[in-house]
Amino acid sequence: MDIATHVFSALYQFGDAFAFLVLSACGLAVIFGMMGVINLAHGEFIMCGAYVTAATVHAGLPLPLGILAGTLVSALVGVVVELAVIRHLYDRPLDTIVATWGLSLIATQGTLIMVGSTMAGVGTPFGSFQVGDYSYSIYRIVLFCAALGVLAALYALFNWTRFGVLARATIQVPHMAAALGVDTRLIYSLTFACGAGLAGLAGGLYAPTMTLVPTMGATFIMEAFVTVVIGGADVFLGTAPAGGVLAVVKSAMTSWQGQLFGQIGLLVAVIIVVRVLPKGISGFVLRERT
Amino acid sequence: MRGFLSLFRHLEGPQTAGRGPAFWSLFSLVLVAACAYPLFSDGYTVGNTVYFFVWVFIALSLCLIWGYGGSLSFGQTAFFGIAGYGYGVLTINFGSAYGFTLVALVLAIAIAALFALLLGYFMFFGRIAGVFLGIVTLAVTLMLERFMAQTAGPEWHIGSARLNGFNGMSAMPPLTIPWPGEPLVLFADIGLYYVVLGLLVLVYLGLRILMNSAFGNVIVAIRENPERAEMLGYDIRKYQLITFVIGAALAGLSGVLYTVWGQYITPSSMGMTAAALPLIWVAVGGRSDLTSTLIGTLAVLAAFQALTIYGSQYALVFMGVLLVLTVLIAPNGLVLGTMNWLGRFAARFTQRAG
């Protein structure tokens, strides 16, 4: 073992943690950053994406198309949820938490009843490669690239498209945007669908790497929440750097003491950061500008 | 003496529903019925009622923090679990002689309160509020569950108490009151029933006094408008922290009584589902009032148990639907809505009669 393999191993673990944090958090962050709504059913959207991906792959579709299907179905479910529940609660953010929690209970238990306690998984594609004494999964590298790709796509979406401009206008001053003819309700619906779709994408991407059980959402949400709390309301200035910082904490703690301590490290980090920077990293960065 | 008597004036006031002779005679009637109830029932049903009562404490704690204080906490089950495990570890190590179980009860609650003090300091003095508070407390709760679930190995023990991972701890001694001759052992039937009922009445009346006192008024003022309360010179962080700690102690009491009741405690008592249930009881009952929380909790628990017997899998789905519908249609809660409606109806009736 020389230094290069050590460095590669550390980088690989960092990339893995970063991808997991960013992918599981970005859907939540988009919804929270745009609408101030915390979606506690986030984990269940991830579960939905993973289940649909697995189902379509079992039906014979190739994995990328399956992931696409998972994303789209989650986004559609997101639209339905927004129309039926979230829309009526925009002026009561605490109640949105409670209502989405209720939805998450319904989704978890409903899936358990309809699909059963577990679903046949999808094999991890691409195999592995060897560096030094350890073998690494290629798919984890793909996931890291996917996380970067999602960040880039979101940046493009919110900065270079008409929808992005309208959405940012709606966040800044909703009634002004409405007065200028923006259909803010439609924007909110689309934003929620976008967040739900991102959750579905995360589920689809991670479907080949984990066991599919109705409570699988719970494995994502803690990391997602922690990243959003530390990042604050902005996806690019918050979620991405928060993912980076937390990935360092998590991968270091994990390789030192095991997975559980990685998570405890995350929790301690969030409590300390919240005490020092109550508005998260993006609040700290943007403090001069507001 | 005068100061002590003036406490009772706060039993009714602007922050709690129910006042006047009509309410208190109804209250005494219910209390008498509750005292007489074990005479007409068998041990198993009484034990089951104790189980319902045990959960009322955690519901009242959430009512205090969320309903009155306006900070949504998912952490109540964490304090519940900490105190439950605390009681287990203490009594398994030191036994139940000389009334130690009662000391363990107090110590376990103190541990939960201390944990809340630490966590609350970081949260309230970091001025996080609203949705973030909910997320941080939820993350702490889930973390505790995961931590306790992996303590299966023999290396995880405190003194002679094994933590036993996902299976949880069991076989801790029940509450024992030292008594000349033979100590009174409170198993989960009539003996425990009267102790828990007594505690429940004490806590309920105590919270009524607390909420109608100056302290309670400040808490409600902070819920209504934190900035204004602060401008009026109150250090809202301290008030919020104290409320949080009191709530944690109540949730801890709930946890200890639960452990005593079933003589076991498992990590899943701190999981997602366990954290959701108190929220449902409180939201459905009516979070901004103690009485409606109490009634709502008992009603939803009874309904949930009946549902679990007849359609076990669908009970949780039904609870979720109930929660979503309550939030959408009756945000103040069903019981409180009914109580307000009855109050208005009664007022109109007396007006017409007078």
Question: What is the residue-wise DSSP string for A1-36?
Answer: --HHHHHHHHHHHHHHHHHHHHHHHHHHHHHHHHH-
Q: What's the rounded Cα separation, in Å, for the pair B255 and B250? A: 9
B24 touches chain A (CB under 8 A): no
How near does any CA of chain A get to the CA of B273, in Å?
7
**Contact criterion met (CB below 8 Å) for A266 and B115:** no
Per-residue pLDDT tens over the stretch B27-43: 889 999 888 888 888 87
- Pair of tokens at residue B351: 């007006």
pLDDT of residue B113: 93
Q: What's the rounded Cα separation, in Å, for the pair B88 and A75? A: 46
SS3 labels along chain B: CHHHHHHHHCCCCCCCCCCHHHHHHHHHHHHHHHHHHHHHCCHHHHHHHHHHHHHHHHHHHHHHHHHHCCCCCCCHHHHHHHHHHHHHHHHHHHCCHHHHHHHHHHHHHHHHHHHHHHHHHHHHHCCCCCHHHHHHHHHHHHHHHHHHHCCCCCCCEECCEECCHHHCEECCCCCEECCCCCCEECCCCHHHHHHHHHHHHHHHHHHHHHHHCHHHHHHHHHHHCHHHHHHCCCCHHHHHHHHHHHHHHHHHHHHHHHHHHHCEECHHHHCHHHHHHHHHHHHHHCCCCHHHHHHHHHHHHHHHHHHHHHCCCHHHHHHHHHHHHHHHHCCCCHHHHHHHHHHHHHHHHHHHHC
SS3 A174: helix
How near does any CA of chain A get to the CA of B318, in Å?
8
- Residues in A closer than 8 angstroms to B62, CB to CB, are none
User: A240-244, B46-50, B282-286: lowest mean pLDDT where?
Assistant: A240-244
Per-residue pLDDT tens over the stretch A31-48: 887 777 888 889 899 999
- Pair of tokens at residue A213: 């059980």
Q: How many CA atoms are closer than 13 Å to the CA of B155, on its beta-carbon side? A: 1
**Contact criterion met (CB below 8 Å) for B144 and B270:** yes
What average pLDDT score do residues B316-336 get?
83
Q: What's the rounded Cα separation, in Å, for the pair A58 and A54? A: 6
B10, part of any domain: yes
- Burial label for B268, CB within 10 Å (0-12, 13-18, 19+), is middle
B157, part of any domain: yes
- Residues in B closer than 8 angstroms to A104, CB to CB, are 272, 320
Give the residue from chain A lying closest to B148, CA to CA.
Answer: A260
Per-residue pLDDT tens over the stretch B326-335: 888 888 888 8
Per-residue pLDDT tens over the stretch A167-214: 888 877 878 888 888 888 888 888 889 999 999 999 888 888 888 888
What average pLDDT score do residues A82-90 get?
85
B317, part of any domain: no
- Residues in A closer than 8 angstroms to B320, CB to CB, are 102-106, 109
Give the residue from chain B lying closest to A232, CA to CA.
Answer: B132
B305, part of any domain: no
Phi, psi of A164 (to 5 degrees): -60, -45
Give the residue from chain B lying closest to A86, CA to CA.
Answer: B328
SS3 A279: coil
Please judge whether A222 and B139 are an interchain contact, meaning their C-beta atoms are less than 8 angstroms apart.
Answer: yes
B286, part of any domain: no
B169, part of any domain: yes
Q: Nearest-CA neighbor of A149 among A241, A46, A23, A27?
A: A23
- Pair of tokens at residue A95: 């109640």
Residue range(s) defining the domain that contains residue B197: 2-272
pLDDT of residue A290: 45
Which positions 179-238 of A are in contact with B (Cβ < 8 Å)?
215, 218, 221-222, 225-226, 228-229
Does B322 score more than 70 pLDDT?
A: yes
Please judge whether A222 and B150 are an interchain contact, meaning their C-beta atoms are less than 8 angstroms apart.
Answer: no
Cα–chain center distance at B83: 13
Domains in chain B, number: 1
Taking CB atoms and an 8 Å cut-off, how many pairs form between chains A and B?
117
Please judge whether B143 and A222 are an interchain contact, meaning their C-beta atoms are less than 8 angstroms apart.
Answer: yes
Q: What is the pTM of this model?
A: 0.84
SS3 A123: coil
**Contact criterion met (CB below 8 Å) for A247 and A17:** yes
- Residues in B closer than 8 angstroms to A218, CB to CB, are 142, 272
Q: Nearest-CA neighbor of A97 among B63, B6, B66, B113?
A: B66
pLDDT of residue B188: 64
Q: Which helix (H) or strand (E) holds A90?
A: none
Predicted-complex ipTM score: 0.80
A85 touches chain B (CB under 8 A): yes
B238, part of any domain: yes
**pLDDT higher for A252 or B6?**
A252
pLDDT of residue B354: 54
Please judge whether B324 and A103 are an interchain contact, meaning their C-beta atoms are less than 8 angstroms apart.
Answer: yes
Which residues make Cβ contacts (< 8 Å) with residue B282, sequence separation at least 6?
B59, B62, B63, B66, B67, B293, B296, B297, B333
Q: Which helix (H) or strand (E) holds A234?
A: none
B237, part of any domain: yes
Which positions 2-61 of A are in contact with B (Cβ < 8 Å)?
32, 36, 38
